[in-house]
């Protein structure tokens, strides 16, 4: 019998206990999944950042910590975490992100805001360009960025992706490294941020990199708030270098009521809802990973502590 600790916000337990128990029963793994276990008896921890476990040192026999989130920046540097940490890669999380990103990409591409806001009796014809004339750049081509890239390509946009390492992705011009960043951003009309928050990605959009974009470019950030230098973005919005920013994530969440983003006419604030973890699929993914470990196979999606993602 495996002892599995569910360490997330208490209210999540009602959503997860059914799907988790069903997934383990289907897999034929005997598991006692609970919100309370003696730490020294715990085999695996299912983890969310706002749950009760903050000190992993009493969990001496724990074989892995399985995150319910894709982003692990709040736990990866925890000095008590010596166990392997797995981040969540889940098709439902990906599907939600693809829908949110393509929706906001099309909104900006088609100039929907102009017509929604301007119902003033004036018949003003404004034709958007075809998607094939609107270059889109995605910073971060991992599980989420690569899937968004394919969906945006399917709509007709020329897509450039950028990440730390070189790779081949169908339908995407892929660049990497510092030189690649400059080329990826130069002339981009829509930029989508799907990088993790690490010391290497902080403020990746700053005064210098924002100046590389096509004038009036759109920024869509469902990645993490610290990817953007906020003062530089506000200055670029005020000068018109950036036409609009749709921001789902912020340095401080909830975004404080007095923050200039709320009132800025060229900023859309969404409250970290670009995508979310769905218990039915997440339970299956976590069960599959624990089954692998119990069968002596390597865990999937283990976070590299040096890279921090």
Residues with active-site annotation: 224, 272
User: CA 184, CA 175: separation in Å to the nearest integer?
Assistant: 7
| Residue 164: CB minimum distance to ligand NDP, A | 4
- Rounded to a whole number of angstroms, the minimum distance from the CB of residue 59 to ligand NDP is 24
Q: Which is nearer to ligand NDP, 39 or 180 (CB)?
A: 180
Q: Which is nearer to ligand NDP, 81 or 144 (CB)?
A: 144
Instruction: Choose between 135 and 225: whose C-beta lies nearer to ligand NDP.
Output: 225
Instruction: Judge whether 64 and 86 are in contact, CB under 8 Å.
Output: yes
Q: How far is the CB of 275 from ligand NDP (least distance, A)?
A: 4
Q: Which is nearer to ligand NDP, 130 or 273 (CB)?
A: 273
Tell me the closest approach of the beta carbon of residue 123 to ligand NDP, in angstroms.
38
Using DSSP, state whether 15 is helix, strand or coil: helix
Residues in contact with ligand NDP by the rule CB under 6 A: 70-71, 89, 93, 140-145, 163-165, 194-198, 200-201, 222-224, 248-249, 272, 274-275, 309
Radius of gyration of the chain (CA): 21
User: CB count, 10 Å around CB of 122?
Assistant: 6
**Residues contacting 27, CB < 8 A, separation 6+:** 287, 288, 291
> Over the range 207-237, which residues count as b (16 or more CB within 10 Å of their CB) and which as e?
eebbebbbeebbbbbbbbbbbbbbebbbebb
User: Is 232:207 a contact under the CB 8 Å cutoff?
Assistant: yes
Strand order in the sheet with 242-247: 172-176, 159-163, 136-139, 190-193, 217-221, 242-247, 267-269
Cβ nearer to ligand NDP, comparing 52 with 91 = 91
CB of 105 to ligand NDP, least distance (A): 15
The answer to whether residues 176 and 199 touch, using CB atoms and an 8 Å cutoff, is no
**Complex with ligand NDP: residue 189 or 248, whichever CB lies closer:** 248
The rounded distance, in Å, linking the Cα atoms of 149 and 172 is 7
Q: What separation in angstroms does the CA of 297 have from each of 291, 292, 294, 300?
A: 9, 5, 7, 9
CB of 187 to ligand NDP, least distance (A): 19
- Residue 142, burial from CB neighbour count under 10 angstroms (0-12, 13-18, 19+): middle
């Amino acid at each position: 019998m495996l002892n599995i600790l569910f360490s997330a916000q208490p209210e999540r337990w009602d959503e997860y206990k059914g799907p988790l128990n069903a997934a383990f029963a289907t897999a034929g793994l005997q598991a006692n999944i609970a919100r309370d276990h003696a730490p020294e008896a715990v085999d695996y921890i299912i983890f969310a950042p706002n749950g009760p476990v903050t000190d992993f040192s009493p969990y001496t026999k724990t074989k892995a910590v399985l995150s319910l989130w894709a982003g692990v920046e709040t736990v990866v540097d925890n000095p008590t975490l010596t166990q392997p940490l797995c981040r969540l890669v889940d098709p439902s999380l990906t599907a939600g992100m693809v829908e949110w990103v393509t929706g906001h990409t099309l909104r900006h591409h088609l100039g929907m805001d102009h017509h929604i806001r301007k119902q003033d009796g004036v018949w003003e014809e404004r034709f958007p360009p075809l998607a094939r004339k609107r270059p889109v750049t995605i910073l971060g081509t991992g599980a989420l960025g690569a899937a968004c890239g394919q969906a945006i390509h399917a709509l007709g946009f020329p897509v450039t992706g950028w990440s730390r390492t070189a790779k081949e992705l169908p339908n995407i011009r892929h660049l990497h490294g510092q030189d690649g960043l400059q080329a990826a951003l130069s002339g981009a009309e829509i930029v989508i941020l799907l990088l993790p928050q690490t010391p290497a990605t902080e403020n990746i959009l700053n005064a210098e990199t924002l100046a590389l974009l096509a004038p009036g470019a759109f920024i869509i950030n469902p990645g993490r708030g610290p990817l953007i230098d906020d003062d530089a973005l506000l200055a670029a919005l005020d000068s018109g270098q950036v036409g609009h920013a749709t921001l789902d994530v912020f340095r401080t969440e909830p975004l404080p009521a007095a923050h200039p983003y709320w009132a800025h006419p060229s900023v859309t604030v969404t409250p970290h809802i670009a995508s979310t973890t769905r218990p039915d699929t997440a339970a299956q993914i976590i069960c599959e990973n624990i089954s692998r470990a119990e069968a002596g196979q390597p865990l999937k999606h283990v976070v590299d502590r040096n890279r921090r993602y």
